[in-house]
Chains A and B, each alone.
Chain A
Amino acid sequence: MIRNKIIILFISYIVCAMFYSCEIKQPAAPTWDVDLQLPFSNKSFNIFDILKRSGNIGYDSMKNNLVFLFGESKYVRSFGEDIKFDGLKTTEINAPSTFVLDTFIVVDDSTFVRRTEFLNGRFNFTFQNNSGKTYSVNATIKNLFNVSNGDTARISISVSAGGQKSIDFDLADYFIKNEIPDNRLELKLRFQSDAPVPVSFNYTLSDYSIKKIDGRLKPLSTGITTNEVIDPLGSDVPEGEVHFAKITPGRNFLILKKYSDLYQVDFSQISIVGENKNGNKVRLKYLKNGNSGDPVDSLFTLTLPSDKDSVAFPINENNSNILAFINNIPKKITATRTDILNLSYKEGEVTYTDSLTLNFTIQVPLDVNITEPIVFKDTVDAGITGDDQRKNLDDVKYLTFTFNTQNGFPLKATAKILILDSFFTPLIAISKIIGNASDSSITVNAASVGPDGFVNSVNTTSMNAELDSAEIQKLKHMGKIIYEYKLYTDQNFIPPPLNTVKIRGSDIIRELSFGKIKYRLNF
């Protein structure tokens, strides 16, 4: 029994000693640093991004994806009330009251019509009676008909002694119809009275506009029209001093169109003026009459024959000053002209709803020399959205990063990268930290260019920098990142004898920033 107690006591002692030696610490999560290699940003831009894919940019897959700008300035006009004729002055006629007058009125010396419909105008007759007897008048205008019922225009009145009567025809309610083209209104008047008395009357035709005319129209100027087109090359054309080497052959035209089978139209005294963002104006000069061999002039006339719906007049460096015009990078193109109908003086027709169009199409490849940088800016939402994420930044000990630029453009770039808060308050100029330049920018050399003017190898630039803890704290409020690039040609990277470079649709400038953060994991 004693032996049992001794053994139990001994074992109890061992067990207690064993447990006592098992020191168990309070649980507490450890902390440690990890080096996280992270991509901070990855942006790439091609020319379409820079020009915002405005719709006025494309590339030619048959020509090594050469990018081109194109634009169309379309100037449309409808005649409306612009087909105008002069009226007739007041004409006095005296006759005895027993007189039957069968006469005509020449409406226009040179216009012979089968049918004329009017938009406006008035035809007035005034009868006077200076005698002591009343007389009556019955008259018809034989080739003037009422629109609503087709009746011949008639006058049936009596003029009392010492009185006066006036009859007014609103021409909008009438039309002229002749079997063969004629320029007259045929008039028959019959005066009646109890006793012969002298009568006098006059007629007046006001200026009028026609709704439709069918016949041989005299050459008729429809007046000066001026139209302007804003942003003919799109709203995001490169701004700066851009010099294009050439235009795209076979893609630049002045096109005349008409939208009915009407007379020959002469677009005369055409003036096309391009105005750039600085207000500088360049006038397009073209062949004086659109014919090869004509001198070029800033006022020119182009003819659209009656038997054609449209005519295209090609524009090139030899028959115009198109390069100078495009190099001005017009933000607005204003076209002024006078359209003349039927200068050929042939039979035909025209209605007031007929319209004419002058199209000015431009296409120019991005084979350029840029002396004044074009600017591209991109703002992206970025970064910290929650308090937890902001708090996490407290555990970032330091941050080193590499800024890698792969410039596939044949253009030199100066870049700025700014980190801002959501209200666009600047926080950190990353580019200043990287480049340490006074203007907070970094410079990236152009990609090298081959003898064909295209990029033949990408230029890669890498720069390293480090953010200290104060700068890291600013990242807590990051909400936006602005990338700003200024792009221009660098003659040092253009092989002679070239002085321009060609930009492809596949050319990109890629910016990668990546680096390492030492992060304290603290649960």
Chain B
Amino acid sequence: MKGFFILFMCSVFVSSEIYSQNILNVRSLSMGNTSASSSYELDAFNQNPANILNQRLNKKSAVYFNILTNAGVLTSSNFLSLNFYNNYFGEVNNGQGRALTEDDKQTILRDASDQPSRIFVSARLLSFVLNTKKSGSYGISIDERFSEKIKVSRDFLNVGLFGNLINSTYNLSGSENNTYWVRQINLTYANSLSFKNNKTFDELAFGVSVKPQLGLYYLNTRSNDLMVTTNNFNQIQGSGSAEFLYSGLTNDNNFKYSLDNAGFGVGFDAGINARIKNVSRNGYLNLGLSITDIGFIKWDKNTANYFYDGNFLITDITNRAQLDSLKDKIKATKTSVTSFTTTLPTTVRFGASYKFTSSASKSSLKKEIATIAVDYVQGFNEDLGGSKKPSGGIGGEYNITDVILSRIGFGFGGLQDFAVSLGLGINAGPVIFDIGTYNVESIFKPKGTTKFSAGLNIKFKIN
């Protein structure tokens, strides 16, 4: 198990793109989630398509690629840490789970109530960038993206852990589950324009992406106002209802992996990256702007509405009619619906970066010394795991040697209100490693952090 986990965590490190609004790529991850103007080649997919033609100064190559070496997972929660898992959901001995004590239950109730837990899993099956000298850069990537958001209301958890009390009202309405699984094909083109006579811009790169979206599964909590009340005779009355919208490869809610799809749509990304002229002889200032995930997915396979009627009254648990009625309601009423459409999590990024270089007389002899970048990220909807909560970041990269680069950053807003990020890069010829984390707690308290994130990216280049 431990070996599996280490392998799994390695794959997390390999992740260069986990969640487009929060996790950019390993390099930007460790620089406070900045990417709009500072991201490079493969890492620029889904961030700013103009940047796929960006490469390190004087380290240019014709081709970058990786195949099945990029997958990841990220959890974002206020309680779900490795310690939490080990303590309450880990094996004690001989396959036996832990017998929760009253203190354990109180801890879980205190920490996990009303706290949304997000799980993002991505797997990049393939990515490839071809840089041409005359016609710009061409890129393709295929990604699997799974996202789940679960929130359990305090009352729901309270009943589950402790049981019910008399003369009480339990509000279950805060509980929700939203799950999506989408396969995305990203086709990107980027090029640059030089402005020799322009006083402001030295160079302007632009890029566009067309992204066919293959939806595999969709489950969304449409509404939930379930309430349960008890009286002093222990009678239990439910009210309200819960409704879920579903589409998937199977009509029985069982996951299966397939090349088939339950929904189809298309998304678009566009971005620019401009280099400002005459800022300094020893550096370059770049401004980047991108808008990603403009588009939709139309779900039309096994589309159904699941309705749970919460109106019940249990006055006698030996009454078969009452229990049968309750069972019927628990089973939910499945109603086939016509196709429905969800939008992609449209996001705008704006950023600036300044690259410090050595003071060689010819630009071809200049070396990168350091980079400072700032980004502002704004989402426009909450579909498919998106968030409208803005986030920003500031980060820096320092070249310790020609091979080793250190990175640091600070992130603000978004799913994590504040984070300190760290990272390191290794340019080992045709193989490039990036390692980093968005949350420094992941390094120093890996078992205790509830916002674990890290990345290790292995990519290859051919000159």
Q: What residues of A have a CB within 8 angstroms of the CB of B95 in the complex?
A: 26, 28
Contact with A along B92-117 (1 / 0, CB 8 A): 10011111100011000000000000
Whether the Cβ atoms of A24 and B86 lie closer than 8 Å is yes
Is B166 located at the chain interface by the 8 A CB criterion? yes
Q: What residues of A have a CB within 8 angstroms of the CB of B236 in the complex?
A: 38-39
Q: What residues of A have a CB within 8 angstroms of the CB of B320 in the complex?
A: 381-383, 385
Q: What residues of B have a CB within 8 angstroms of the CB of A37 in the complex?
A: 163-166, 230, 234
Q: Which one of A1-9, A315-323, A343-351 is at the interface?
A: A1-9
Q: How many residues of A contact B (CB 8 A)?
A: 43
Cβ 8 A contact of B97, one of A22, A31, A478:
A31
Q: Give bound CA distance, A197 to B6, whole Å.
A: 148
Q: Which one of A258-266, A497-505, A511-519 is at the interface?
A: A511-519
Is A224 located at the chain interface by the 8 A CB criterion? no
Q: Quick one: given A15-B435, A26-B1, A42-B235, are A32 and B99 in contact (CB under 8 Å)?
A: yes
CB-contacts of B393-452 with A (<8 A): 400-401, 403-404, 424, 426, 435, 443, 446-447
Whether the Cβ atoms of A30 and B100 lie closer than 8 Å is yes
Q: Quick one: given A24-B86, A30-B89, A514-B234, are A4 and B318 in contact (CB under 8 Å)?
A: no
Scoring A19, A385, A514 by chain B CB atoms within 10 A of each residue's CB, the highest score goes to A514
Is A167 located at the chain interface by the 8 A CB criterion? no
Contact with B along A466-482 (1 / 0, CB 8 A): 00000000000010010
CB-contacts of B358-385 with A (<8 A): none
Min Cβ gap B25→A in Å is 18
Min Cβ gap B113→A in Å is 16
Cβ 8 A contact of B90, one of A8, A28, A514, A515:
A28
Contact with A along B210-240 (1 / 0, CB 8 A): 0000000000000000000010011110000
Min Cβ gap B234→A in Å is 4
Main secondary structure of the interface of B (DSSP, over half): mixed
Q: Quick one: given A28-B96, A35-B163, are A512 and B233 in contact (CB under 8 Å)?
A: yes
CB-contacts of B40-83 with A (<8 A): 82
A-side interface residues toward B, CB under 8 Å?
A: 3-4, 7-8, 11, 14-15, 18-19, 21-32, 34-43, 380-383, 385, 404, 478, 481, 512, 514-515, 519
Q: Quick one: given A30-B97, A42-B316, A385-B320, are A11 and B162 in contact (CB under 8 Å)?
A: no
Whether the Cβ atoms of B447 and A22 lie closer than 8 Å is yes
Whether the Cβ atoms of B234 and A39 lie closer than 8 Å is yes
9 A-B pairs (CB sep. < 8 Å) = A19-B446, A22-B447, A34-B163, A36-B163, A37-B163, A39-B233, A41-B318, A42-B316, A481-B318
Is B339 located at the chain interface by the 8 A CB criterion? no
Which range contains the number of B residues in contact with the other chain? Answer: 35 or more
Is B258 located at the chain interface by the 8 A CB criterion? no
Is B294 located at the chain interface by the 8 A CB criterion? no
Q: What residues of B have a CB within 8 angstroms of the CB of A26 in the complex?
A: 1, 90-91, 95
Q: Quick one: given A34-B161, A39-B317, are A515 and B99 in contact (CB under 8 Å)?
A: no
Whether the Cβ atoms of A32 and B314 lie closer than 8 Å is no
Whether the Cβ atoms of A28 and B98 lie closer than 8 Å is yes
Q: What residues of A have a CB within 8 angstroms of the CB of B234 in the complex?
A: 37-39, 514-515
Q: What residues of A have a CB within 8 angstroms of the CB of B166 in the complex?
A: 37
Q: What residues of A have a CB within 8 angstroms of the CB of B160 in the complex?
A: 34
Min Cβ gap A481→B in Å is 6
Q: Give bound CA distance, A15 to B403, whole Å.
A: 19
Min Cβ gap A333→B in Å is 40
Whether the Cβ atoms of B82 and A22 lie closer than 8 Å is yes
Whether the Cβ atoms of A24 and B5 lie closer than 8 Å is yes
Whether the Cβ atoms of A514 and B233 lie closer than 8 Å is yes
Cβ 8 A contact of B401, one of A4, A19, A382:
A4
Whether the Cβ atoms of A382 and B318 lie closer than 8 Å is yes
Min Cβ gap B3→A in Å is 10
Q: Give bound CA distance, A30 to B108, whole Å.
A: 12
Q: Give bound CA distance, A40 to B1, whole Å.
A: 45
Q: Give bound CA distance, A8 to B83, whole Å.
A: 29
